[in-house]
Amino acid sequence: MSNYNIVIFVFILAIFSSCKSDINQEVVSSASEDDNYGILSMQERAKAIDSLLKIRVERVLPELMGRTGIDMWILISREYNEDPVLETMLPAEWMSARRRTILVISYNGDSLNTYAIARYNVGDVFKKAWDKEEEPDQWIALRRLIEKHRPNKIGINVSENYALADGLPKTEYDALVSVLPDNYVNKLVSAEALAVGWLETRTSEEMALYKDICNVAHKIIAEGFSNKVITPGETTTDDVVWFFRQRVNDLGLKSWFHPTVSVQRSDSENFDHLRSFSDSPGDRIIMPGDLLHVDFGITYLRLNTDTQQHAYVLKEGEENAPQYLVEALKTGNRLQDILTSQFITARSGNDILAMALAKADEEGIKATIYTHPIGYHGHAAGPTIGMWDSQGGVPGTGDYPLFPRTAYSIELNHAVDIEQWGKEIRIMLEEDAYFDGDKVTYIDGRQEELLLIE
């Protein structure tokens, strides 16, 4: 067993121990660390996911329900039409809801109770609270549970601003309303703040694993932007794109979006950075002197990464990238610092955006900022800090406040005139970071030097 796997396994054991779970202490690795970056087996991943879920339910939910004033939260899904929030509460062995799955979370200020109005326990967290033989109607069983707890505010997942918090289908909503007495229908409220809080809040145990997840993404990028994959004059940008897709698949991971690889170079063509957000930049042969860019993300242990980095293809006789490109990257790092310095608890995404853009303008940086939360989803729930086509702020999600213990993809670019190339280029950066309530820390560091391809 490699030292890396020993460290990971010891940490996972600590999580399991804190949850009082009984774990087989033998780790079986399917490949060497060199082959798979120490990625856990499917069985190890399931144990980690289930243990992290227990911790989150016990530690995060009481805080959020107290913060929002919601004392009962009802999540309803039918198989293959899962509420995005409910999906994050399913055990690792469940690939979807089963039949109609109803989860009920009740909190009275002192104790938290979790139920499944379903035919089965939903993992170890949500215990079955419906006996179909005793009460054939699932909705009546739900009503009786609600009446037993007598909640004052019942949260349901309906939201105008966040698709991720809008997972209750109309059919299920109508059925719920039809079975409830009027005095409980009047207590139904949007659980938007609770759902967003659940999705965005990270525990210390998750963050310890998140570093390794981001490190895997960084290693895959470094591998793709190397002579192992790229032969200048032969390899195309599409070749590299499909290397990333295949590598992720071979590692047993998922890509949550199709990666892009683009080229900026000293020629007469002006680079249109907006194409990387919509249309493919096109398949191009990679040549010496090119500045390469990648946008890449993976999903592992239910958490996502989103990374953009640059590489330079050395010309014959060069040992480093030209100084003007080195300086352009440094300015990109400065823009990152400007943005993260504006992260203040309770400040809205729109205010963070406006203040960062104003500061960048003062320093003569031609900035575009489009930073988003990251976690259970790539473009996750939380405060939106600009979009590439909405630099004046984003209504709704941009008005949401910044909370501690949340993670973000610090995504932005700046335009710089390269005299030697006779045109403007874009340095486009994106690195995943964590806000602890006081400061922003890059989860696995950030790119401060260009990757070099010989």
Express each pLDDT in 164-217 by its tens digit: 999 999 999 999 999 999 999 999 999 999 999 999 999 999 999 999 999 999
Q: Is the pLDDT of residue 52 over 50?
A: yes
Domain ranges of the chain: 45-198, 202-452
Q: Which residues of 118-142 are buried (b: 16+ CB within 10 A; e: fewer)?
A: beeebbebbeebbeeeeeeebbebb
C-alpha dihedral over 349, 351, 357, 359, to 10 degrees? -130
Q: Is the pLDDT of residue 420 over 50?
A: yes
Report pLDDT for 368: 98
Report pLDDT for 283: 85
**What is 45-198's CATH superfamily?**
Creatinase/prolidase N-terminal domain (3.40.350.10)
335-360 average pLDDT score: 98
Question: Is the separation of the CB atoms in 397 and 277 below 8 Å?
Answer: no
Polymer length in residues for the chain: 454
CA 230 to chain centre: 29
Report pLDDT for 282: 67
The 3-state DSSP class for residue 343 equals: coil
Report pLDDT for 273: 58
Q: Which amino acid is at 361?
A: D
Give the range among 8-12, 153-157, 312-316 with minimum mean pLDDT: 8-12
Q: Is the pLDDT of residue 16 over 70?
A: no
Report pLDDT for 20: 33
Q: Is the pLDDT of residue 31 over 50?
A: no
Report pLDDT for 28: 26
Residue 154: pLDDT band by 50, 70, 90 thresholds? very high
Residue 248: pLDDT band by 50, 70, 90 thresholds? very high
Report pLDDT for 35: 67
Give the range among 122-136, 191-205, 323-337 with minimum mean pLDDT: 122-136
Average pLDDT of the residues of the chain: 90
Residue 32: pLDDT band by 50, 70, 90 thresholds? very low
Residue 98: pLDDT band by 50, 70, 90 thresholds? confident
Please name the helix (run of DSSP H) or strand (run of DSSP E) that holds residue 53, with its range, or none: helix 42-68
Q: Is the pLDDT of residue 5 over 80?
A: no
Residue 34: pLDDT band by 50, 70, 90 thresholds? low
**What is 202-452's CATH superfamily?**
Creatinase/methionine aminopeptidase superfamily (3.90.230.10)
Residue 360: pLDDT band by 50, 70, 90 thresholds? very high
- Over pLDDT 90: what percentage of the chain? 83
318-336 average pLDDT score: 97
Report pLDDT for 275: 54
The 3-state DSSP class for residue 162 equals: coil
Asked whether the domain spanning 202-452 has the same topology as the one spanning 45-198, the reply is: no
Question: Is the separation of the CB atoms in 369 and 339 below 8 Å?
Answer: yes
C-alpha dihedral over 335, 338, 339, 342, to 10 degrees? 180
Report pLDDT for 18: 42
Q: Is the pLDDT of residue 409 over 80?
A: yes
Question: Is the separation of the CB atoms in 428 and 272 below 8 Å?
Answer: no
Question: Is the separation of the CB atoms in 434 and 202 below 8 Å?
Answer: yes
Question: Is the separation of the CB atoms in 454 and 447 below 8 Å?
Answer: no
